[in-house]
Amino acid sequence: MNTHSGGGMHLPPLNALRSFEAAGRLGSIRAAAAELVVTPGAVSRQVRVLESWLGVELFRHDGRTIQLTDTGVRYLRSVTEHLTGIAEATDRATGRGRAEGALRIRSYTLLASTWLIPRLTRFRRSQPWIEIELVTSSDPADFGGRDVDAEIRPGASGPWPGLEADLVVDTDLVLVCNPAYVAEYRLERPEDLRRLPGDGFLRSVASPHLWRIWFDVVGVDDVDVTRGPMFGDSTLAYQAAAAGHGVMLAPMPFVEPDLAAGRLVAPFPLAPRPATQFYLVYPGDHPNRKAFTAFRRWLLAESRTAAVADV
């Protein structure tokens, strides 16, 4: 009798699928039994269960040999594809089946492009046996999965129950814009931002709350920062600021190259600056300890070096 799973899906018994897939792929009941560590009789019974469940014949039997029917050939192709996909998804979620030196890190795009990537050459040279895969996103919804070994997240996204966290970046939040923008709107004090048009406050999907934090710290109210352009990536917002579209908030280390090159300026050097942090977040029972431990040790050393340089 057909059974149902969640969402109304018709799913046959998993053990029967595994037995059929092994027998069809290997072309032998006995070989399938050896692979699955069961008896040939158990494999045969599971294949019959699946054929009964489907209401179709999957194998033709000729003495002790088996041959897939046309339906069986098509079904085997699909079942093998999906069982392989489940196995690969399980490996990604648990970290099993990966090379000892494989390491997958997810970071916010801005931190990766401006802070982490310039330093990664030193990591690769010091730990050449580790193959690191860096994936990035600016969407908070993409974070929190177990498909990576660790994530670098803003402190505002915490706390993270059940996870460990190490402080990586602890810095000031600074307002930046194009030099010509300062002259156009005569920006000398934070209060002068009241002169800006409503679309002059550039925002990022990853951190739209930063404007409210910044204005609270500098003590300026009655400024509407909810109508400015929203960017899916903070890097795009900084590029828009450099192009003269408005003002943007940034962790100081992430925009230092643009400030040094004159593409951006910080018009209020004496204004109070709220702090912002980024953390390395990871499960305490990490399945890939050796490679991750080496990366964590290196990253925290880089963090300490950067902190000393900023003093």
Task: Please report the pLDDT score of residue 83 as a whole number.
Answer: 87
- Among 1, 8, 100, 93, residue whose Cα is nearest residue 53: 1
- Determine what percent of the chain is predicted with pLDDT higher than 70: 91
Q: Is the pLDDT of residue 208 over 90?
A: no
Banded pLDDT at 162 (limits 50, 70, 90): confident
Task: Please report the pLDDT score of residue 3 as a whole number.
Answer: 44
Least confident interval from 40-44, 52-56, 92-96: 92-96
pLDDT digits (tens, 9 = 90+) for 210-269: 888 899 999 988 888 887 888 888 888 888 999 999 999 988 988 888 899 999 999 999
Task: Please report the pLDDT score of residue 94 as a whole number.
Answer: 61
Q: Is the pLDDT of residue 109 over 90?
A: no
Domains by residue range for the chain, with CATH: 6-94 (1.10.10.10), 102-170+277-310 (3.40.190.10), 172-275 (3.40.190.10)
Residue the block writes with tokens 């330093």: 119
pLDDT digits (tens, 9 = 90+) for 58-97: 999 887 789 999 999 999 999 988 888 887 777 666 655 5
Cα–Cα distances in angstroms (integers) from residue 176 to residues 170, 218, 240, in the given order: 18, 15, 11
Element (H, E) at 102: strand 102-108
Task: Please report the pLDDT score of residue 308 as a whole number.
Answer: 55
- Among 179, 154, 141, 149, residue whose Cα is nearest residue 266: 179
Cα–Cα distances in angstroms (integers) from residue 144 to residues 93, 231, 237, 283, in the given order: 12, 22, 24, 11
More confident residue, 56 or 86: 56
Q: What value, to the nearest 5°, has the Cα angle with vertex 41 and ends 40 and 43?
A: 65
**CB under 8 A, 24+ apart: contacts of 290-295:** 290/100, 291/100, 291/101, 291/102, 291/103, 291/130, 291/149, 292/103, 292/149, 292/150, 294/127, 294/130, 295/103, 295/105, 295/123, 295/127, 295/130, 295/132, 295/149, 295/150
Q: Is the pLDDT of residue 9 over 80?
A: no
Task: Please report the pLDDT score of residue 49 as a whole number.
Answer: 93
Spatial contact of 23 and 47, defined as CB atoms under 8 Å apart: yes
pTM for the complete prediction? 0.64
